Structure 1
Amino acid sequence: MIFEQVATGGCQSYLVGCGDTCSAVLIDPEISQVDRYLAIAARDGLRIHYVIDTHTHADHFSATRTLAQRLKVPVVMHRDSPAPFADLRLQDADLLRVGNLRLQALHTPGHTADSMCLLLDDRIFTGDTLLIGGTGRTDLPSGDPSALYDSLFSGILKLDPSLLVFPAHDYKARGSSTIAEELANNPRLQRTERTAFIEMMEHLDLNAPTHLTEALRTNMSGGKSVAQLLAEAATKTPFVSLSELRARIVAGSTDLIVLDVRERDAFDAGHVPGAMNLPRGQLELRVNDALPDPTRRIVTLCQFGKISTLAAATLRELGFLRTSALDGGMAAWTEAGYPLEKAG
């Protein structure tokens, strides 16, 4: 077996391959690590045949759909997953063949209704059902403490105590555990009576994940996060440095349009000398009147350089092919002490 664990903050992903056949599966991939997963697979001579989410994640952005489209492989989830893009839906005890390896799906609802664990030889990938020193929370959409109790005490905790436990999250960089170690040391598993366990889970008083709404939206629908939209826009857009724009402004250059896409009040409070204002929200509606010559060179800017990147990508899609975005924003321009104009 070829095995690689990839940590992204507290999130854990797993690339598991069959050395005999060079077949592999990727479990719980995170969107920021797409290139890393592909590089590891290439390094080890593996071809990824499946990308799997053990459940609908609420605290990070899954890369399953992105990788599935790129690699032309199926997204694998449990049968109860709400994600419309899941291609292969597993039921309890289904086997997934990856070369000579066999991964068995175990339906373990509780953290979410679609949670499943994956049993493979000497190890189990527990998603958020069983963590090292903890369990998945049950206060998020489709969570159920009673179901989690059954999944744990009538399910995976009855498996071979020597099984290695690899969860989808590990915030203390411990890497792995075993069923035996969790039974002995996991404080949540010491509440072995159903009522006591449920009461504990209902009173954990945990903070909501930082990106809860956005993560659930993207992971359930296959939509894109704001970060993805920005990253994609940045790949389609060249940039101009602060110092280069300043030099052109100081030299009185007339060969480019500086387009400030902030709202009017922010523009009036201070802008790059000579800039024109076209708020991002009005861009598509006013672009033909405001920018009649599509051959002009344009540099977009905003407060922090994000909205202007989206605006530049949009303008290029509209045919303004000489559009760039300022690498930075008015905040960086002001901090550098570069010249400002104010309205009135």
Structure 2
Amino acid sequence: MLFETFAAGGCRSYLLGCETSCAAVLIDPELSLTDRYRGRLNQHGLTLRYIVDTHTHADHFSASLALRKAFGAPVAMHRLSAAPFADVRLDDGEMLIAGTLKLTAMHTPGHTHDSMCLVMNDRVFTGDTLLIGGTGRTDLPTGDPHQLFDSLFGKLLKLPGETLVFPAHDYKDRGHSTIADEIRTNPRLQKTDRAAFVEMMHALNLAAPTHLTEALRTNMSGGKTVGQLLSEAACGVPFLSMSELGSRLGGNSRDLIVIDLREKDDYDMGHIEGALHLPRGQLELRVNSELPDPTMRIVTCCEYGKISVLAAATLRDLGFMRATALDGGIAAWREAGFPLEPSR
């Protein structure tokens, strides 16, 4: 069996490959690693048969939908998952088979109601149910400490002690553990009384994940992240460097319109010479009156160079095919020593 672990911060995902059939399974893929997964699959000549999310993630962005579109492989989740794009909905004890790979779903609610572990031969992929030296939290949507207690002590920890544990997060830099090691050393598993365990989980008082709302929104619905919107827009928009724009201002600017998308107060404090003030929120409503010539060359700019990319993409969609975005924003322009002029 081919086996590889991928890391993105504290997140862990796993690629399993059957050497006989070249079938592969990818567990808990992270969106920022999409190209790395693609590269490994191609490198090893593997065909992706299943993409599995062990639960609805609230702390990172799943790559499942993007990989499904790229490879045509079905997404497998527990049957209680809210994700509309899940093709295979697993119940407790059901199995995925890809060549010689056989993974059995073990429903382990607690961290989320759709949490499951995947048991395969000598190992178990525990998602966020059991971590190395910890467990998944239970204070996020659909979490329940009582269910987690039952999932751990009633199911997962009854696996053979030598079973290797591969979680969806690793904050100990250990890569993997075993069921026996966790029973012996994991502080949270020392609370074997239900009431004591539940009290401990309620008292954790953990900070909310950085991307909680966006992660839940995208992972539950299949919607796009802000990063995906920016990336997709950037693929269809050319950029103009600050030095190139600087050289074209003044006497050479007749064939060029600079659009400043910021709000009025920011624009008035200082803007690029001759820039037209057109706030992003008014762009579509005023574009016909402010930009009567669709053949003009346009450069969009904003404070940090992100809204300008979306605006340039919108202008191109509207037929302004020479719309470009400034590489960097007004903040970078200012830091580079290029001049800004205040409104009079």
Q: TM-score w.r.t. structure 1 length?
A: 0.98
**Secondary structure, aligned partner of 2:58:** coil
Residue 188 of structure 1 corresponds to 188
Match in the other structure for 1:318: 318
Q: What is the DSSP-based 3-state SS (H/G/I as helix, E as strand, rest coil) of the residue aligned with 1:40? A: helix
Matched residue, 1:141: 141
The Cα of 1:117 is off from its aligned counterpart by 0.3
Any idea what the Cα deviations from partners look like across 1:168-226, whole Å, max 9, x if unmatched? 00123211111111011100001011111111011101000001111111111111111
CA distance in 2, matches of 1:123, 1:304: 46
For 1:274, the equivalent position in structure 2 comes to: 274
> Structure 1 stretches (4+) deviating beyond 6 angstroms?
none
Q: Which residue is equivalent to 1:172?
A: 172
1:222-233 paired onto structure 2 within 5 Å: 222-233=222-233
Superposition map of 1:202-221 within 5 A:
202-221=202-221
Pairing 1:36-47 to 2, within 5 Å after superposition: 36-47=36-47
Residues 10-49 of structure 1: matches in 2 within 5 Å? 10-49=10-49
- The match for 1:152 is 152
Alignment coverage as a number of residue pairs: 344
- 1:59 partnered with 2:59: yes
**What corresponds to 1:249 in structure 2?**
249
Match of 1:328 in 2: 328
1:85 alignment counterpart:
85
Q: Normalising by the residue count of structure 2, what TM-score does the alignment of the two structures yield?
A: 0.98
1:7-59, Cα deviation, whole Å (9 max, x unpaired): 00000011111010000011101111111101011111101111110000000
**Is 2:295 the partner of 1:261?**
no
Q: Which AA in structure 2 matches 1:265?
A: D
Instruction: Note if contact 1:10-1:172 (Cα within 8 Å) is conserved in structure 2.
Output: no
Q: 1: CA distance between counterparts of 2:198 and 2:272?
A: 59
Corresponding letter in the other structure for 1:113: H
Q: Whole-Å Cα distance in 2 between the matches of residues 305 and 327 of structure 1? A: 7
- Alignment identity in percent? 65
For residue 41 of structure 1, give the secondary structure of its aligned residue in structure 2: helix
Report how far residue 251 of structure 1 moved: 5.1
Pair 1:338-2:315 in alignment: no
Separation in 2 of the partners of 1:251 and 1:38? 49
Code of the residue aligned with 1:95 in structure 2: it is: M
Aligned-partner Cα distance in 1 for 2:30–2:84: 19
Q: Is the 8 A contact 1:13 1:168 kept in 2?
A: yes
Partner Cα separation in structure 2 for residue 171 and residue 238 of structure 1: 40
What is the CA-CA distance between 1:277 and the residue it aligns to?
Answer: 1.1
SS at match of 1:60: coil
Aligned amino acid, residue 120 of structure 1? M
Amino acid at match of 2:325: A
Post-superposition offset of 1:71: 1.1
Structure 2, unaligned stretches of length 5 or more? none
> What is the identity, as a one-letter code, of the residue corresponding to 1:27?
I
How many Å separate the matches in 2 of 1:114 and 1:253?
58
Write the distance in 2 (CA, Å) between the matches of 1:171 and 1:328: 34
Q: Which residue of 2 aligns with 1:302?
A: 302
For residue 250 of structure 1, report the CA deviation from its aligned partner. Answer: 5.1
Matches within 5 A, 1:111-122: 111-122=111-122
Q: Secondary structure at the match of 1:55?
A: coil
**What is the distance in 2 between the residues matched to 1:281 and 1:75?**
37
Task: Give 1:247 shift.
Answer: 1.2
SS at the partner of 1:49? strand
RMSD: 0.9
CA contact (8 A) 2:6 2:14 kept: yes
SS of the counterpart of 1:295? Answer: coil
Q: In 2, Cα distance between the equivalents of 1:203 and 1:139?
A: 10
What is residue 125 of structure 2 aligned with on the other side?
Answer: 125
Distance 1:243 1:251, change over 3 A: farther
SS for the counterpart of 2:249 is helix
Greater alpha carbon shift after TM alignment, 302-311 vs 168-177? 168-177
What residue identity is the alignment partner of 1:22?
C
Deviation at 1:292, TM superposition (A): 1.1
